[in-house]
Structure 1
């Protein structure tokens, strides 16, 4: 029996925002619940602005998308979940589902950091 590895999410504080770097190649049905639970723990009581750095994520399926949307809902009123560094495949999922109109999406983590005051 293989033990389930912990979802690799690295929280950092940058420019008054909570940054969460997803150090996983995929967010799919196999890890979606774990992703959502870890994000709930990390973001609880944190700053109003949370930036999710997805630059290492090469694949996101509908379960992964659902988990990201669930995290947005968990954050509550007055808090923002922004996305940064979407790979072309992941960006396409957000575009095709029109979720790119729901989330603020930054081209890169550096671009999101530059817009910290925005």
Structure 2
């Protein structure tokens, strides 16, 4: 389901591969992205460009991944559609996950922090 593009220093750009990150798709996304974390990718850019809707299950999956990474890495998001960005604001996740307009901007910012 997910699409992953590996970069240097454990950095990986991950796309959920679905248009709606909901209870029906969030579990599989979390499991597959979790395998990347377990394989040593502890710095993830979650590219939500193709996601037009996210619900609390999708947000919970992202929080679960953040907990799995823990202090050894980081997770940022990019490409938030207005409805997705609104859900991040409503749930205050915009304060938890740094957000960038696209994966190129996120890559530059995250690599600069390394």
Q: TM-score w.r.t. structure 2 length?
A: 0.89
Which of residues 75, 83, 88 in structure 1 aligns to 2:77? Answer: 83
Runs of 4+ in 1 over 3 A off after TM superposition: none
> Where in structure 2 are there 5+ consecutive unaligned residues?
none
Q: In the TM superposition, what are the counterparts of 1:40-79 in structure 2 within 5 Å?
A: 40-79=34-73
> Where in structure 1 are there 5+ consecutive unaligned residues?
1-7
Q: CA deviation at 1:15?
A: 4.7
Q: CA deviation at 1:21?
A: 1.8
The separation in 2 between residues aligned to 1:75 and 1:21, in whole angstroms, is 17
Q: TM-score w.r.t. structure 1 length?
A: 0.86
The separation in 2 between residues aligned to 1:49 and 1:36, in whole angstroms, is 15
Cross-structure match for 2:2: 9
